[in-house]
Chain A
Amino acid sequence: MSNAKTSWLGGVWRNNAALVQLLGLCPLLAVTTTVVNGFTLGLATTAVLMATNTTISLLRNSVAPAVRIPMFVLIIASLVTCIDLLTNALFFDLHEILGLFIPLIITNCAILAQAETVASRSPVGPSLASGFATGVGFFAVLVALGALRELFGSGTLFAGFSMLFGERAQMISIDFPFDGMLVAVLPPGAFFGLAALLALRNLIIERGRRRQFAQQESLRRDRAS
């Protein structure tokens, strides 16, 4: 139980692939001009992570160490190709936008890192859970960065969800009464946005640490007196 909790907390917060390990930055920075882009790439990445972690964990005892990296890449590449084909068939409009970035999930180091550090050493259950947690952590950052850039760059939020869920989803699109700053949707905006999220995360951790420190300090003072 506590083990599952650790792996969950690790994937989403403590070892967040995007914010702490800074892995998979290429898709992260390139795609997140809108929420829907981040949302979809996050979903695809999570799906890939869960599938690859499960497969690799199942094969972990048979893979000879010398060939493990090519094996991982082969498995990751074929699963990503499947997901690429399926999004192309089922969500054509979105596939047009995400285009190259779905095949590029293959090169997301977060996935290979999971395969190497977790899936090749743990049973299926924990591997799947860890893949899911890492995926959710990455997904959250993609959506947050997408929201930040869409809000400041285009003055909208959740635009274009109709590409995923049909015309009805247009309802959740919010138009703000300003045009947005161009820089937010340009590549520099991606770095600024990521920096803001990193700073926010560090701020939260710093606060927590200070509070802990203050508590210990007061405890010590109590004991002394």
Chain B
Amino acid sequence: MDATETKPFRTLFFVAVVAVGAAGIVTASHEFSKDRIAANQRARLLASLHSVLDLPVGEVDLNPIPLQIGDSDLLGSGGAVDAFVINRDGHPLAAIIASVAPDGYNASIQLLVGIDENDAISGVRVLSHRETPGLGDAIDIDKSNWIEQFDGKTLDSPPLEMWAVDKDEGSFDSITGATVTPRAVVKAVKNTLLYFRDHKQELFSAAEAIERQQSGENE
């Protein structure tokens, strides 16, 4: 009991030894797991990119070119947004933008919007959301196929003023019991398309530059 009173330095030393030991085992397990975690995250990323692209089954060689899009009101995140461009034989095939629906019911909704080279939606998926289970969470592909109605849509079809849920005289299905959630998602997808319309060339040439740089490094 008197150990602390009489031997503060011994106590201090002991605390330091335990702290170093604790740091040691954390470092060891970090070393063991970091490659696997990185591989898992990459696989997860590729799988989610695949889910918003209209590609034949078994097509695995995506090689997405990661980009950062600066601040844009249309993409809803209030900061930089991740985007990916898929090139095939030197030609841009599709762009994928991780945009955000800032006005979800409980919190902002993270989306992944795939747009093909003809400006049509190739797929939309919700990456994360905090909508009400059983109501708003129908936007999640695991819960319902509501999100698939965006496939193939462009800014011309349906026309821009019809980009709303049917409750608001738009052409997208609403979700029973949830008004805010589908409204937020439809608006976010529309805004992503609007952004893409204005920045398509910018995105594709940025990706091309990166790809050229990469192949330059490889040679």
Contacts and interface: CB of A to CB of B under 8 A. Distances in A.
Interface of A: 59, 62-67, 70-71, 74-75, 77-79, 81-82, 85-86, 88-90, 92, 96, 182, 185-186
Nearest to B15: A67
Interface residues of B, number: 27
Interface in B1-15: 1, 3-4, 10-11, 14-15
Given A64-B10, A89-B33, 6 more contacts: A62-B14, A65-B3, A66-B11, A67-B15, A79-B25, A185-B133
A86 B22 contact: no
A171 to B, nearest CB: 20
Interface of B: 1, 3-4, 10-11, 14-15, 18-19, 22-23, 25-26, 29-30, 32-34, 36-37, 40-41, 43-44, 133-135
A56 B103 CA distance: 48
A62 B15 CA distance: 10
Contacts of B3: 64-65
B11 A81 contact: no
Which of A65, A79, A85, A92 counts the most chain B CB atoms within 10 A? A85
B14 A63 contact: yes
A75 B4 contact: no
Contact of B29 (A74, A75, A77, A81): A81
Nearest to A81: B26
B216 to A, nearest CB: 34
A67 B1 CA distance: 11
B29 A92 contact: no
18 contacts: A59-B18, A64-B3, A64-B10, A64-B14, A66-B4, A66-B11, A71-B15, A75-B18, A78-B23, A82-B26, A88-B33, A88-B40, A89-B33, A90-B33, A92-B40, A92-B44, A182-B133, A185-B133
A182 B131 CA distance: 13
Contacts of A82: 25-26, 29
Contacts of B36: 89-90
A202 to B, nearest CB: 30
A222 to B, nearest CB: 54
B29 A67 contact: no
B131 to A, nearest CB: 12
B4 A67 contact: yes
B37 A88 contact: yes
B62 to A, nearest CB: 19
Contact of B4 (A65, A86, A88, A186): A65
A189 to B, nearest CB: 10
A3 to B, nearest CB: 26
A88 B43 CA distance: 13
Nearest to B35: A89
A86 B33 contact: yes
A96 B30 CA distance: 18
B11 A75 contact: no
Contacts of B1: 65
Nearest to A51: B25
A51 to B, nearest CB: 10
B48 to A, nearest CB: 11
A88 B30 CA distance: 10
A156 to B, nearest CB: 13
A86 B32 CA distance: 8
A101 to B, nearest CB: 15
B163 to A, nearest CB: 30
A64 B18 contact: no
B133 A186 contact: yes
